[in-house]
Chains A and B, each alone.
Chain A
Amino acid sequence: DAGVIQSPRHEVTEMGQEVTLRCKPISGHNSLFWYRQTMMRGLELLIYFNNNVPIDDSGMPEDRFSAKMPNASFSTLKIQPSEPRDSAVYFCASSKTGAGGNQPQHFGDGTRLSIL
């Protein structure tokens, strides 16, 4: 079975550029999560969706970050304009129920983002 699929795996771009990260959750999963991982702060939740609706975006650092989930099989995380401090590994995860259900989240292998 296919797991969570993220693209690209690596992205290097100059500051000020727009960056778009993509995620395809596991088929049948109705919750999707975006995380950021850095050495300093560990794994941080940015936003999560339930049935394509954003439920909690309190982890989104600032207005430069936005996330969408136009359908059950696709989500994007966009950074515009990007800054060097946005450099991190961004993970997408999905689970079968809402965040209130006792089901584990399954993670993709992440996008390693470097902003020069």
Chain B
Amino acid sequence: GESVGLHLPTLSVQEGDNSIINCAYSNSASDYFIWYKQESGKGPQFIIDIRSNMDKRQGQRVTVLLNKTVKHLSLQIAATQPGDSAVYFCAERGITGRRALTFGSGTRLQVQP
């Protein structure tokens, strides 16, 4: 079969529009979540994080929303720019057992000028 990477979900938006990238996480006991941005040839870059006792957190042009009821995380990017084009990963950390981050498979964001 073909690799997961070749079938990364892709979100294509126009420059200036808002982008929403979604992530379904797996562990209902996870207590900490992070969004990373990865550009070609570079390592994942931290964007924003949120603890499980919050449902929303805002940064510069970015907002993360957490819905623990349905185990859903989203990243909203306001006024998307060409420089936002990258692959975006969500990551979660459980509260028991292995405490390291578990990464999702990623979403590719393409910003059209």
Contact = CB atoms under 8 A, between A and B. Distances in A.
Given A39-B6, A40-B4, A104 B46 contact: yes
B66 to A, nearest CB: 13
Q: Would you call the interface of chain A mostly helix, strand, loop, or mixed?
A: loop
Could you say which interface size class chain B belongs to?
Answer: 20 to 34
Interface stretch (B11-19, B20-28, B70-78, B99-107): B99-107
A39 B5 contact: yes
Contacts of A33: 100
Interface string A20-45: 00000000000001000011111101
Given A40-B4, A40-B5, A41-B4, A58 B98 contact: yes
Contacts of A43: 44, 89, 103
B49 A104 contact: yes
B34 A104 contact: yes
Interface in A63-116: 91, 93, 98-100, 102, 104-110
B100 A40 contact: no
B4 A102 contact: no
Contacts of B100: 33, 45, 48, 56, 99
Contacts of A104: 34, 46, 49
B42 interface: yes
Interface of A: 4, 33, 38-43, 45, 48, 56, 58, 91, 93, 98-100, 102, 104-110
Interface of B: 3-6, 31-32, 34, 36, 41-46, 49, 51, 89, 93, 98-106
6 contacts: A43-B44, A56-B99, A91-B44, A102-B32, A102-B49, A109-B41
Given A42-B4, A108-B43, 8 more contacts: A38-B3, A38-B5, A41-B4, A56-B98, A56-B100, A93-B44, A107-B43, A107-B44
